[in-house]
Amino acid sequence: MRRRYPSIATALTAIIAQGCGLITSNHDGSDDRVHTAGAAGQSSAGMASGGSSDSLHIDAGGTSQAGSPSSCPGQISFADQIVDAVGATRILYSWTTDEQVAELRAGTELFSRSERPGMGRGLLFTELAAVAAGTTPDSALANVLVNETFAKVRFAWPNPWATLLGFPGETYGNQLLRIELKADAWIARFNRGVLDVVDADNRPVPLEMALANPKRIGAIFHESRAVAGTSDCYSGTFSHSGVGFREFALGNIEMVERWSLATPDITERLDHDLTELKAFEAQVPCLTIASNWPGALGCDWEGPVNRDSVLSNYEFALGLPNELYLPNPENIAALIATLEMSMPTGEPLIVTPGQ
């Protein structure tokens, strides 16, 4: 059942209106404008991307960044955390529980579970199984991935902070695994019901070659639609049941170079994330957020990232956009605090499979 959170949209309007201004897009394409005068008496929201001071259009279903450069402090955040061309991805992070960490330290395999208790294998494998049952060119490969290469799985993402909060009512733990794929690993991509494979240079791998060498596939990148079972990338709700999400599924230990827990590398990465998030926190009041965020992100992800926009960078760094990640001051402060409480503890553990 889809739940709605009108209070979040209302709170967002009030919060952002106190900053640099807000324009929200209605379903009919018209704009609800809330302007806050800047120091020079101009509307900050009207100064985005070289636009005039009295006009800014946001297409229904899209998002945008506003605020003059001088009003947004610091450098543009998340420039090094954008996730778009996925083939080159080699470092992935997976949040897990204290219980699973204890099992891993005791010698349990990295990929030991086929599903989360009571939750099944997840939407990716449900939809891949449907492809496997069909007669399309990628059906045979889908069958191998579902039933053999990725029979046991763990989900991960390149940016630790971007999945830390999970979904409302669903979290993944506060212990972080760092997983490094081998240099020659391929990555399968499953998007809009289409399965393909790319190499480390993001070049296509022919399906027949991938089917002949499925053990070369180190991860499956999955981008879910906002409306399950359709190609629709738009949803106007703030409920987590109406937004898209992105994830990497890991399960092929043969393509894992090494994995680790509680290492200095992990601490260094989380420190870097905290620096990025704190810089972003200072920039949040200068953002203009569409009223249908995060449902519109599925549409935005289909296009190119605007690397000069801190909001676009943030959106392309996210894996699980939902109301917990709505970029307002309270949420970003909560994310920072949660990350600070999730720094590694215990002795470092580094495992090289096969050694």
pLDDT tens readout for residues 237-295: 333 445 678 999 999 999 999 999 999 999 999 999 999 999 999 999 888 888 888 77
Distance between alpha carbon 67 and the CA centroid of its chain, in Å? 25
% the chain with pLDDT above 70: 72
% the chain with pLDDT above 90: 55
Q: Which of the four pLDDT bands, split at 50, 70 and 90, describes residue 120?
A: low
Instruction: State the residue for tokens 């106190």.
Output: 18
Are 186 and 216 in contact by the 8 Å Cβ rule? The answer is yes
Are 176 and 160 in contact by the 8 Å Cβ rule? The answer is yes
pLDDT tens readout for residues 324-341: 999 999 999 999 999 999
Distance CA 165, CA 41 (A): 39
Considering the chain, what is the average pLDDT of its residues?
78
pLDDT of residue 122: 75
pLDDT of residue 71: 53
DSSP 63-130: ----S-GGGS-SSPTTTT-----GGG--EEEEEE-HHHHHHHHTT--SS--SSBTTTBS-HHHHHHHH
pLDDT of residue 294: 79
Q: Which of the four pLDDT bands, split at 50, 70 and 90, describes residue 61?
A: very low
pLDDT of residue 329: 95
Q: Residue 280, Cβ neighbours under 10 Å: how many?
A: 23
pLDDT tens readout for residues 127-152: 999 999 999 889 999 999 999 999 99
pLDDT of residue 119: 59
Structure tokens at 211: 């089917």
Q: Is the pLDDT of residue 62 over 60?
A: no
Domain locations in the chain as residue ranges: 6-76+283-326, 86-265+347-351
Q: Residue 64, Cβ neighbours under 10 Å: how many?
A: 23
Distance CA 217, CA 34 (A): 49
What number is the average pLDDT over the span 116-125?
71
- Model pTM score: 0.78
Please give the torsion angle defined by the CA atoms of residues 237, 241, 245 and 251, in that order, rounded to the nearest 10 degrees: 180
Nearest Cα to Cα of residue 331 among 277, 273, 276? 277
What letter would DSSP give residue 351? E
Please give the torsion angle defined by the CA atoms of residues 61, 303, 224 and 83, in that order, rounded to the nearest 10 degrees: -120
What letter would DSSP give residue 146? I
pLDDT of residue 243: 60
Q: Residue 200, Cβ neighbours under 10 Å: how many?
A: 17
Ranked by mean pLDDT, which of 103-107, 117-121, 281-285 comes out on top? 103-107
pLDDT of residue 239: 39
pLDDT tens readout for residues 77-95: 899 999 998 999 999 999 9
pLDDT tens readout for residues 182-237: 999 999 999 878 899 999 999 999 999 999 999 999 999 998 865 554 545 554 33
Are 20 and 286 in contact by the 8 Å Cβ rule? The answer is yes
Q: Which of the four pLDDT bands, split at 50, 70 and 90, describes residue 168?
A: confident
Distance CA 201, CA 198 (A): 8
Q: Is the pLDDT of residue 180 over 90?
A: yes
